[in-house]
Structure 1
Protein backbone atom coordinates (compact mmCIF):
# COMPACT_ATOMS: atom_id res chain seq x y z
CA UNK A 1 0.00 0.00 0.00
CA UNK A 2 2.79 2.43 0.91
CA UNK A 3 4.58 1.67 -2.36
CA UNK A 4 1.40 2.41 -4.33
CA UNK A 5 0.90 5.75 -2.55
CA UNK A 6 4.38 6.81 -3.68
CA UNK A 7 3.69 6.13 -7.38
CA UNK A 8 2.65 8.72 -9.95
CA UNK A 9 -0.48 6.70 -10.67
CA UNK A 10 -1.68 7.19 -7.10
CA UNK A 11 -0.99 10.93 -7.30
CA UNK A 12 -3.45 11.24 -10.19
CA UNK A 13 -5.85 8.37 -9.53
CA UNK A 14 -6.72 8.99 -5.88
CA UNK A 15 -7.65 12.69 -6.26
CA UNK A 16 -9.74 11.80 -9.32
CA UNK A 17 -11.61 9.09 -7.43
CA UNK A 18 -12.18 11.47 -4.49
CA UNK A 19 -13.55 14.11 -6.89
CA UNK A 20 -15.94 11.64 -8.53
CA UNK A 21 -17.19 10.44 -5.14
CA UNK A 22 -17.70 14.04 -4.01
CA UNK A 23 -19.75 14.83 -7.12
CA UNK A 24 -21.87 11.70 -6.68
CA UNK A 25 -22.59 12.50 -3.03
CA UNK A 26 -23.28 16.14 -3.89
CA UNK A 27 -25.73 15.15 -6.65
CA UNK A 28 -27.44 12.58 -4.45
CA UNK A 29 -27.87 14.89 -1.45
CA UNK A 30 -29.33 17.74 -3.50
CA UNK A 31 -31.76 15.40 -5.27
CA UNK A 32 -32.88 13.45 -2.22
CA UNK A 33 -33.36 16.55 -0.07
CA UNK A 34 -34.81 18.50 -3.01
CA UNK A 35 -32.54 21.47 -2.37
CA UNK A 36 -33.60 24.43 -4.54
CA UNK A 37 -31.19 25.30 -7.32
CA UNK A 38 -30.89 28.91 -6.19
CA UNK A 39 -29.55 27.67 -2.81
CA UNK A 40 -27.27 24.80 -3.84
CA UNK A 41 -27.25 23.59 -7.46
CA UNK A 42 -26.47 19.96 -8.20
CA UNK A 43 -23.44 19.11 -10.36
CA UNK A 44 -25.84 18.33 -13.22
CA UNK A 45 -27.23 21.89 -12.96
CA UNK A 46 -23.69 23.27 -13.08
CA UNK A 47 -23.03 21.14 -16.16
CA UNK A 48 -26.06 22.65 -17.87
CA UNK A 49 -24.76 26.11 -16.94
CA UNK A 50 -21.40 25.18 -18.47
CA UNK A 51 -23.12 24.36 -21.76
CA UNK A 52 -25.03 27.64 -21.72
CA UNK A 53 -22.37 30.01 -20.34
CA UNK A 54 -19.12 28.18 -21.07
CA UNK A 55 -17.87 30.81 -23.52
CA UNK A 56 -18.59 33.63 -21.08
CA UNK A 57 -16.79 31.92 -18.23
CA UNK A 58 -13.87 31.07 -20.54
CA UNK A 59 -13.36 34.68 -21.66
CA UNK A 60 -13.64 36.09 -18.17
CA UNK A 61 -11.45 33.30 -16.80
CA UNK A 62 -8.67 34.23 -19.22
CA UNK A 63 -8.96 37.85 -18.08
CA UNK A 64 -8.62 36.79 -14.43
CA UNK A 65 -5.72 34.51 -15.30
CA UNK A 66 -3.88 37.31 -17.09
CA UNK A 67 -4.31 39.84 -14.28
CA UNK A 68 -3.33 37.21 -11.72
CA UNK A 69 -0.16 36.20 -13.54
CA UNK A 70 0.91 39.82 -14.06
CA UNK A 71 0.41 40.62 -10.38
CA UNK A 72 2.09 37.38 -9.38
CA UNK A 73 5.16 38.03 -11.53
CA UNK A 74 5.46 41.52 -10.08
CA UNK A 75 5.23 40.01 -6.58
CA UNK A 76 7.81 37.38 -7.51
CA UNK A 77 10.38 39.93 -8.68
CA UNK A 78 9.96 42.28 -5.73
CA UNK A 79 9.52 39.43 -3.24
CA UNK A 80 12.74 37.68 -4.25
CA UNK A 81 14.67 40.95 -4.20
CA UNK A 82 13.41 41.97 -0.75
CA UNK A 83 13.78 38.42 0.54
CA UNK A 84 17.44 38.30 -0.40
CA UNK A 85 17.98 41.81 0.95
CA UNK A 86 16.32 41.06 4.30
CA UNK A 87 17.96 37.64 4.57
CA UNK A 88 21.46 39.01 4.09
CA UNK A 89 21.26 42.45 5.65
CA UNK A 90 20.54 42.90 9.34
CA UNK A 91 19.88 46.58 8.73
CA UNK A 92 17.31 45.81 6.01
CA UNK A 93 15.64 43.28 8.33
CA UNK A 94 15.31 45.84 11.15
CA UNK A 95 14.05 48.60 8.86
CA UNK A 96 11.87 46.80 6.32
CA UNK A 97 10.43 43.72 8.02
CA UNK A 98 8.13 45.57 10.49
CA UNK A 99 6.85 47.71 7.63
CA UNK A 100 6.09 44.63 5.53
CA UNK A 101 4.30 42.94 8.43
CA UNK A 102 2.22 46.06 9.04
CA UNK A 103 1.30 46.33 5.37
CA UNK A 104 0.39 42.65 5.17
CA UNK A 105 -2.06 42.96 8.07
CA UNK A 106 -4.13 45.54 6.17
CA UNK A 107 -7.20 43.82 4.64
CA UNK A 108 -6.67 44.11 0.91
CA UNK A 109 -10.39 44.43 0.28
CA UNK A 110 -10.15 47.79 2.05
CA UNK A 111 -7.65 48.96 -0.58
CA UNK A 112 -9.75 48.04 -3.62
CA UNK A 113 -12.06 51.10 -3.47
CA UNK A 114 -9.00 53.34 -3.22
CA UNK A 115 -7.36 51.57 -6.15
CA UNK A 116 -10.55 52.07 -8.17
CA UNK A 117 -10.37 55.80 -7.43
CA UNK A 118 -6.68 56.01 -8.34
CA UNK A 119 -6.62 53.74 -11.41
CA UNK A 120 -10.26 53.47 -12.46
CA UNK A 121 -12.42 50.42 -13.08
CA UNK A 122 -10.56 47.71 -14.93
CA UNK A 123 -7.57 45.40 -14.78
CA UNK A 124 -5.13 47.61 -12.88
CA UNK A 125 -6.80 47.32 -9.42
CA UNK A 126 -6.91 43.53 -9.85
CA UNK A 127 -3.23 43.38 -10.82
CA UNK A 128 -2.17 45.50 -7.86
CA UNK A 129 -4.34 43.54 -5.41
CA UNK A 130 -2.90 40.25 -6.71
CA UNK A 131 0.58 41.70 -6.33
CA UNK A 132 0.02 42.84 -2.73
CA UNK A 133 -1.18 39.40 -1.69
CA UNK A 134 1.50 37.45 -3.57
CA UNK A 135 4.74 39.15 -2.66
CA UNK A 136 4.67 38.84 1.17
CA UNK A 137 4.83 34.99 1.33
CA UNK A 138 7.72 35.09 -1.12
CA UNK A 139 9.62 37.69 0.92
CA UNK A 140 9.20 35.77 4.17
CA UNK A 141 10.17 32.37 2.77
CA UNK A 142 13.20 33.58 0.81
CA UNK A 143 14.46 35.50 3.84
CA UNK A 144 13.90 32.42 6.03
CA UNK A 145 15.80 30.25 3.57
CA UNK A 146 18.83 32.54 3.71
CA UNK A 147 18.62 33.02 7.48
CA UNK A 148 18.71 29.25 8.12
CA UNK A 149 21.92 28.59 6.19
CA UNK A 150 24.37 26.84 8.47
CA UNK A 151 27.13 29.28 9.51
CA UNK A 152 29.67 26.47 9.35
CA UNK A 153 29.13 26.06 5.61
CA UNK A 154 29.70 29.76 5.03
CA UNK A 155 32.79 29.76 7.26
CA UNK A 156 34.31 26.86 5.31
CA UNK A 157 33.85 28.65 1.99
CA UNK A 158 35.25 31.88 3.40
CA UNK A 159 38.29 30.03 4.76
CA UNK A 160 38.87 28.71 1.25
CA UNK A 161 38.93 32.26 -0.09
CA UNK A 162 35.37 32.47 -1.46
CA UNK A 163 33.95 35.93 -2.02
CA UNK A 164 30.52 36.93 -0.60
CA UNK A 165 29.02 36.44 -4.06
CA UNK A 166 30.51 32.94 -4.31
CA UNK A 167 29.16 32.09 -0.85
CA UNK A 168 25.72 33.22 -1.97
CA UNK A 169 26.00 31.33 -5.25
CA UNK A 170 27.25 28.07 -3.74
CA UNK A 171 25.30 28.01 -0.45
CA UNK A 172 22.76 30.78 0.04
CA UNK A 173 20.88 30.57 -3.25
CA UNK A 174 20.56 26.74 -3.38
CA UNK A 175 19.51 26.66 0.27
CA UNK A 176 16.74 29.20 -0.37
CA UNK A 177 15.26 27.40 -3.40
CA UNK A 178 13.04 24.94 -1.46
CA UNK A 179 11.67 27.86 0.54
CA UNK A 180 11.12 29.85 -2.65
CA UNK A 181 9.13 27.11 -4.37
CA UNK A 182 7.07 26.53 -1.24
CA UNK A 183 6.20 30.23 -1.23
CA UNK A 184 5.34 30.25 -4.95
CA UNK A 185 2.64 27.61 -4.47
CA UNK A 186 1.10 29.71 -1.71
CA UNK A 187 1.57 33.02 -3.51
CA UNK A 188 -0.22 31.96 -6.70
CA UNK A 189 -3.30 31.04 -4.68
CA UNK A 190 -3.14 34.35 -2.86
CA UNK A 191 -2.80 36.18 -6.18
CA UNK A 192 -6.00 34.57 -7.46
CA UNK A 193 -7.78 35.64 -4.29
CA UNK A 194 -6.57 39.20 -4.78
CA UNK A 195 -7.71 39.35 -8.40
CA UNK A 196 -11.18 38.01 -7.64
CA UNK A 197 -11.62 40.34 -4.65
CA UNK A 198 -10.84 43.32 -6.87
CA UNK A 199 -13.04 42.07 -9.71
CA UNK A 200 -16.06 41.85 -7.42
CA UNK A 201 -15.69 45.55 -6.58
CA UNK A 202 -13.79 47.41 -9.29
CA UNK A 203 -14.09 45.58 -12.59
CA UNK A 204 -16.53 44.83 -15.39
CA UNK A 205 -14.71 41.67 -16.45
CA UNK A 206 -13.25 38.58 -14.84
CA UNK A 207 -14.39 35.66 -12.72
CA UNK A 208 -15.19 37.89 -9.75
CA UNK A 209 -17.44 40.04 -11.93
CA UNK A 210 -19.23 36.92 -13.22
CA UNK A 211 -19.82 35.67 -9.67
CA UNK A 212 -21.28 38.98 -8.52
CA UNK A 213 -23.46 39.33 -11.63
CA UNK A 214 -24.72 35.75 -11.40
CA UNK A 215 -25.46 36.03 -7.69
CA UNK A 216 -27.40 39.28 -8.14
CA UNK A 217 -29.67 37.55 -10.67
CA UNK A 218 -29.93 34.35 -8.56
CA UNK A 219 -28.17 32.37 -11.28
CA UNK A 220 -26.39 30.24 -8.71
CA UNK A 221 -25.32 27.46 -11.15
CA UNK A 222 -23.38 30.07 -13.14
CA UNK A 223 -21.79 31.39 -9.94
CA UNK A 224 -20.71 27.86 -8.99
CA UNK A 225 -19.38 27.29 -12.50
CA UNK A 226 -17.22 30.40 -12.20
CA UNK A 227 -15.98 29.30 -8.77
CA UNK A 228 -15.07 25.83 -10.07
CA UNK A 229 -13.27 27.39 -13.04
CA UNK A 230 -11.25 29.50 -10.63
CA UNK A 231 -10.41 26.42 -8.57
CA UNK A 232 -9.32 24.55 -11.70
CA UNK A 233 -6.97 27.37 -12.72
CA UNK A 234 -5.48 27.47 -9.23
CA UNK A 235 -4.89 23.71 -9.22
CA UNK A 236 -3.33 23.87 -12.69
CA UNK A 237 -0.84 26.58 -11.74
CA UNK A 238 -0.08 24.90 -8.42
CA UNK A 239 0.68 21.70 -10.34
CA UNK A 240 2.95 23.59 -12.75
CA UNK A 241 5.04 24.97 -9.88
CA UNK A 242 5.13 21.56 -8.21
CA UNK A 243 6.39 20.00 -11.45
CA UNK A 244 9.07 22.67 -11.89
CA UNK A 245 10.08 22.11 -8.27
CA UNK A 246 10.49 18.38 -8.87
CA UNK A 247 12.62 18.99 -11.94
CA UNK A 248 14.88 21.66 -10.47
CA UNK A 249 15.41 20.83 -6.79
CA UNK A 250 14.81 17.10 -6.65
CA UNK A 251 17.89 16.92 -4.45
CA UNK A 252 15.99 18.67 -1.66
CA UNK A 253 13.38 15.93 -1.39
Structure 2
Protein backbone atom coordinates (compact mmCIF):
# COMPACT_ATOMS: atom_id res chain seq x y z
CA UNK A 1 0.00 0.00 0.00
CA UNK A 2 2.78 2.41 0.92
CA UNK A 3 4.66 1.62 -2.29
CA UNK A 4 1.53 2.37 -4.33
CA UNK A 5 1.11 5.70 -2.57
CA UNK A 6 4.75 6.60 -3.16
CA UNK A 7 4.36 5.69 -6.83
CA UNK A 8 1.23 7.85 -7.09
CA UNK A 9 2.88 10.86 -5.44
CA UNK A 10 5.76 10.62 -7.90
CA UNK A 11 3.52 10.28 -10.94
CA UNK A 12 2.43 13.07 -13.29
CA UNK A 13 -1.20 12.46 -12.33
CA UNK A 14 -0.51 13.55 -8.77
CA UNK A 15 0.79 16.93 -9.95
CA UNK A 16 -2.67 17.65 -11.38
CA UNK A 17 -4.97 15.75 -9.01
CA UNK A 18 -3.53 16.97 -5.70
CA UNK A 19 -3.66 20.73 -6.47
CA UNK A 20 -7.20 20.29 -7.84
CA UNK A 21 -8.37 18.48 -4.71
CA UNK A 22 -6.66 21.01 -2.47
CA UNK A 23 -8.41 23.85 -4.31
CA UNK A 24 -11.81 22.16 -4.01
CA UNK A 25 -11.21 21.56 -0.29
CA UNK A 26 -10.25 25.21 0.18
CA UNK A 27 -13.46 26.41 -1.47
CA UNK A 28 -15.60 23.97 0.55
CA UNK A 29 -14.07 25.09 3.85
CA UNK A 30 -14.38 28.71 2.75
CA UNK A 31 -18.09 28.26 1.95
CA UNK A 32 -18.76 26.51 5.27
CA UNK A 33 -16.96 29.18 7.31
CA UNK A 34 -18.85 32.04 5.62
CA UNK A 35 -22.22 30.34 6.14
CA UNK A 36 -21.61 29.14 9.71
CA UNK A 37 -20.28 32.46 10.98
CA UNK A 38 -22.66 34.47 8.76
CA UNK A 39 -19.92 36.72 7.43
CA UNK A 40 -21.35 39.63 5.39
CA UNK A 41 -20.75 39.45 1.66
CA UNK A 42 -19.10 42.87 1.60
CA UNK A 43 -16.47 41.56 4.03
CA UNK A 44 -15.81 38.06 2.72
CA UNK A 45 -18.05 36.67 -0.03
CA UNK A 46 -18.66 32.95 -0.27
CA UNK A 47 -17.36 30.97 -3.27
CA UNK A 48 -20.95 30.48 -4.44
CA UNK A 49 -21.57 34.25 -4.54
CA UNK A 50 -18.23 34.76 -6.31
CA UNK A 51 -19.25 32.20 -8.89
CA UNK A 52 -22.61 33.93 -9.35
CA UNK A 53 -20.86 37.29 -9.83
CA UNK A 54 -18.50 35.70 -12.37
CA UNK A 55 -21.48 34.38 -14.33
CA UNK A 56 -23.41 37.66 -14.18
CA UNK A 57 -20.43 39.80 -15.19
CA UNK A 58 -18.69 37.31 -17.46
CA UNK A 59 -18.56 39.68 -20.50
CA UNK A 60 -16.88 42.42 -18.45
CA UNK A 61 -14.49 39.95 -16.80
CA UNK A 62 -13.49 38.37 -20.12
CA UNK A 63 -12.94 41.74 -21.82
CA UNK A 64 -10.82 43.12 -18.99
CA UNK A 65 -8.95 39.83 -18.54
CA UNK A 66 -8.07 39.85 -22.24
CA UNK A 67 -6.75 43.41 -21.97
CA UNK A 68 -4.63 42.49 -18.95
CA UNK A 69 -3.31 39.40 -20.72
CA UNK A 70 -2.34 41.44 -23.80
CA UNK A 71 -0.56 44.17 -21.83
CA UNK A 72 1.18 41.64 -19.59
CA UNK A 73 2.32 39.49 -22.51
CA UNK A 74 3.57 42.50 -24.45
CA UNK A 75 5.54 43.86 -21.51
CA UNK A 76 6.83 40.39 -20.70
CA UNK A 77 8.09 39.79 -24.25
CA UNK A 78 9.90 43.13 -24.19
CA UNK A 79 11.34 42.17 -20.79
CA UNK A 80 12.62 38.85 -22.18
CA UNK A 81 14.39 40.54 -25.09
CA UNK A 82 15.87 43.29 -22.90
CA UNK A 83 16.74 41.00 -20.00
CA UNK A 84 18.47 38.40 -22.18
CA UNK A 85 20.47 41.08 -23.99
CA UNK A 86 21.57 42.81 -20.78
CA UNK A 87 22.28 39.46 -19.10
CA UNK A 88 24.57 38.36 -21.92
CA UNK A 89 26.25 41.77 -21.96
CA UNK A 90 26.87 41.74 -18.20
CA UNK A 91 27.88 38.07 -18.16
CA UNK A 92 30.45 38.37 -20.94
CA UNK A 93 31.82 41.88 -20.41
CA UNK A 94 33.59 42.91 -17.23
CA UNK A 95 33.22 46.57 -18.21
CA UNK A 96 29.47 46.15 -18.71
CA UNK A 97 29.21 44.37 -15.36
CA UNK A 98 31.00 47.16 -13.49
CA UNK A 99 29.04 49.86 -15.34
CA UNK A 100 25.52 48.53 -15.76
CA UNK A 101 24.93 46.13 -12.87
CA UNK A 102 24.96 48.80 -10.09
CA UNK A 103 22.60 50.93 -12.18
CA UNK A 104 20.20 47.99 -12.64
CA UNK A 105 20.28 47.19 -8.93
CA UNK A 106 19.60 50.82 -8.02
CA UNK A 107 16.75 51.06 -10.51
CA UNK A 108 15.23 47.81 -9.28
CA UNK A 109 15.02 49.13 -5.73
CA UNK A 110 12.66 51.92 -6.85
CA UNK A 111 9.05 50.92 -6.09
CA UNK A 112 7.42 50.62 -9.48
CA UNK A 113 4.07 51.79 -8.12
CA UNK A 114 5.73 55.18 -7.62
CA UNK A 115 6.45 55.35 -11.36
CA UNK A 116 2.88 54.60 -12.47
CA UNK A 117 1.56 58.19 -11.95
CA UNK A 118 4.48 59.50 -13.99
CA UNK A 119 3.79 56.99 -16.75
CA UNK A 120 0.15 58.07 -16.74
CA UNK A 121 1.19 61.73 -17.11
CA UNK A 122 3.53 60.88 -19.97
CA UNK A 123 1.38 58.36 -21.87
CA UNK A 124 -2.18 58.82 -20.52
CA UNK A 125 -4.57 56.39 -18.82
CA UNK A 126 -4.36 53.57 -21.35
CA UNK A 127 -2.53 50.30 -21.99
CA UNK A 128 0.96 51.82 -22.21
CA UNK A 129 1.56 52.39 -18.44
CA UNK A 130 0.45 48.81 -17.70
CA UNK A 131 2.72 47.40 -20.43
CA UNK A 132 5.72 49.42 -19.23
CA UNK A 133 5.15 48.51 -15.59
CA UNK A 134 4.97 44.82 -16.50
CA UNK A 135 8.25 45.23 -18.39
CA UNK A 136 9.96 47.10 -15.54
CA UNK A 137 9.08 44.43 -12.99
CA UNK A 138 9.94 41.45 -15.21
CA UNK A 139 13.21 42.27 -16.94
CA UNK A 140 15.50 42.47 -13.87
CA UNK A 141 15.26 38.81 -12.70
CA UNK A 142 15.76 37.68 -16.31
CA UNK A 143 18.90 39.79 -16.75
CA UNK A 144 20.36 38.70 -13.41
CA UNK A 145 19.75 34.99 -14.00
CA UNK A 146 21.16 35.05 -17.53
CA UNK A 147 24.27 36.85 -16.29
CA UNK A 148 24.57 34.34 -13.45
CA UNK A 149 24.27 31.42 -15.86
CA UNK A 150 27.09 32.75 -18.02
CA UNK A 151 29.24 33.61 -15.02
CA UNK A 152 29.01 30.08 -13.59
CA UNK A 153 30.26 28.32 -16.74
CA UNK A 154 33.34 26.30 -15.78
CA UNK A 155 36.51 28.05 -17.05
CA UNK A 156 37.99 24.65 -17.90
CA UNK A 157 35.25 24.04 -20.47
CA UNK A 158 36.00 27.35 -22.14
CA UNK A 159 39.73 26.66 -22.10
CA UNK A 160 39.27 23.24 -23.73
CA UNK A 161 37.20 24.69 -26.56
CA UNK A 162 39.63 27.54 -27.10
CA UNK A 163 42.55 25.11 -27.19
CA UNK A 164 40.69 23.27 -29.96
CA UNK A 165 40.47 26.49 -31.96
CA UNK A 166 36.90 27.53 -31.10
CA UNK A 167 36.02 31.21 -31.47
CA UNK A 168 34.21 33.25 -28.79
CA UNK A 169 30.94 32.79 -30.68
CA UNK A 170 31.46 29.02 -30.89
CA UNK A 171 32.24 28.87 -27.16
CA UNK A 172 28.97 30.67 -26.53
CA UNK A 173 27.02 28.33 -28.82
CA UNK A 174 28.50 25.13 -27.43
CA UNK A 175 28.80 26.01 -23.72
CA UNK A 176 27.44 29.42 -22.75
CA UNK A 177 23.95 29.21 -24.25
CA UNK A 178 23.11 25.62 -23.09
CA UNK A 179 24.47 26.36 -19.62
CA UNK A 180 22.34 29.51 -19.37
CA UNK A 181 19.02 27.96 -20.45
CA UNK A 182 18.09 26.43 -17.04
CA UNK A 183 18.74 29.81 -15.38
CA UNK A 184 16.73 31.56 -18.08
CA UNK A 185 13.67 29.34 -17.69
CA UNK A 186 13.83 29.62 -13.90
CA UNK A 187 13.76 33.41 -14.23
CA UNK A 188 10.94 33.33 -16.81
CA UNK A 189 8.61 31.52 -14.40
CA UNK A 190 9.31 34.14 -11.74
CA UNK A 191 9.17 37.11 -14.09
CA UNK A 192 5.81 36.00 -15.51
CA UNK A 193 4.22 36.52 -12.08
CA UNK A 194 6.00 39.86 -11.70
CA UNK A 195 4.65 40.99 -15.07
CA UNK A 196 1.07 40.30 -13.98
CA UNK A 197 1.68 42.20 -10.74
CA UNK A 198 3.01 45.16 -12.70
CA UNK A 199 0.07 45.26 -15.09
CA UNK A 200 -2.52 45.06 -12.32
CA UNK A 201 -0.76 47.76 -10.28
CA UNK A 202 -0.78 50.14 -13.25
CA UNK A 203 -4.38 49.29 -14.17
CA UNK A 204 -5.54 49.97 -10.64
CA UNK A 205 -3.82 53.37 -10.54
CA UNK A 206 -3.87 54.75 -14.07
CA UNK A 207 -5.99 52.91 -16.60
CA UNK A 208 -9.46 52.81 -18.12
CA UNK A 209 -9.61 49.03 -18.37
CA UNK A 210 -8.05 45.75 -17.31
CA UNK A 211 -8.47 43.53 -14.28
CA UNK A 212 -6.89 46.05 -11.92
CA UNK A 213 -9.37 48.67 -13.08
CA UNK A 214 -12.26 46.21 -12.73
CA UNK A 215 -11.26 45.27 -9.17
CA UNK A 216 -10.94 48.92 -8.12
CA UNK A 217 -14.34 49.82 -9.61
CA UNK A 218 -15.99 46.78 -8.02
CA UNK A 219 -14.47 47.59 -4.62
CA UNK A 220 -15.56 51.22 -4.80
CA UNK A 221 -19.12 50.00 -5.48
CA UNK A 222 -18.86 47.52 -2.57
CA UNK A 223 -19.35 44.70 -5.07
CA UNK A 224 -16.85 42.48 -3.26
CA UNK A 225 -17.92 39.22 -4.98
CA UNK A 226 -17.05 40.77 -8.35
CA UNK A 227 -13.70 41.95 -6.99
CA UNK A 228 -12.95 38.41 -5.78
CA UNK A 229 -14.03 37.02 -9.16
CA UNK A 230 -11.47 39.33 -10.75
CA UNK A 231 -8.78 38.13 -8.35
CA UNK A 232 -9.54 34.50 -9.17
CA UNK A 233 -9.42 35.30 -12.89
CA UNK A 234 -5.97 36.80 -12.37
CA UNK A 235 -4.89 33.67 -10.51
CA UNK A 236 -6.04 31.51 -13.41
CA UNK A 237 -4.16 33.68 -15.93
CA UNK A 238 -1.00 33.51 -13.83
CA UNK A 239 -1.22 29.73 -13.51
CA UNK A 240 -1.74 29.33 -17.26
CA UNK A 241 1.28 31.48 -18.11
CA UNK A 242 3.43 29.73 -15.51
CA UNK A 243 2.33 26.33 -16.80
CA UNK A 244 3.20 27.35 -20.36
CA UNK A 245 6.82 27.98 -19.38
CA UNK A 246 6.96 24.78 -17.34
CA UNK A 247 5.90 22.79 -20.41
CA UNK A 248 8.23 24.76 -22.68
CA UNK A 249 11.13 24.17 -20.28
CA UNK A 250 10.38 20.46 -20.22
CA UNK A 251 10.78 20.13 -23.98
CA UNK A 252 13.43 22.81 -24.56
CA UNK A 253 15.97 21.62 -21.97
CA UNK A 254 14.97 17.99 -21.50
CA UNK A 255 18.67 17.13 -21.26
CA UNK A 256 19.00 19.13 -18.01
CA UNK A 257 16.61 16.85 -16.12
State whether TM-score is above 0.5: yes
TM-score category, normalised to shorter length? over 0.9
Q: Give the SS at the match of 2:153.
A: coil
Q: Give the SS at the match of 1:41.
A: coil
Corresponding residue of 1:43: 47
Corresponding residue of 2:31: 27
Q: Give the SS at the match of 1:133.
A: helix
Task: Work out which of the residue numbers 163, 166, 170 in structure 1 matches 2:167.
Answer: 163
Residues in 2 aligned to 1:56 and 1:169: alpha-carbon distance in whole angstroms:
47
Corresponding residue of 1:233: 237
Q: Give the SS at the match of 2:197.
A: helix
In the superposition, the TM-score normalised over structure 1's length comes to 0.99
Matches within 5 A, 1:143-162: 143-162=147-166
RMSD (CA atoms):
0.6
Corresponding residue of 1:191: 195
Matches within 5 A, 1:169-208: 169-208=173-212
Deviation for aligned residue 1:2? 3.0
1:64 aligns with 2:72: no
Residues in 1 aligned to 2:206 and 2:200: alpha-carbon distance in whole angstroms:
10
The Cα offsets for residues 170-208 of structure 1, whole Å up to 9 and x where unpaired, read as 000000000000000011100000000000111010000
Q: Give the SS at the match of 2:208.
A: coil
Corresponding residue of 2:249: 245
1:109 aligns with 2:116: no
Task: Work out which of the residue numbers 90, 98, 103 in structure 1 matches 2:102.
Answer: 98
Corresponding residue of 2:92: 88
1:16 aligns with 2:20: yes
Corresponding residue of 2:136: 132
Task: Work out which of the residue numbers 197, 211, 215 in structure 1 matches 2:215.
Answer: 211
Structure 1: 5+ residue stretches without partners: none
Count of paired positions: 253
Structure 2: 5+ residue stretches without partners: none
Deviation for aligned residue 1:51? 1.3
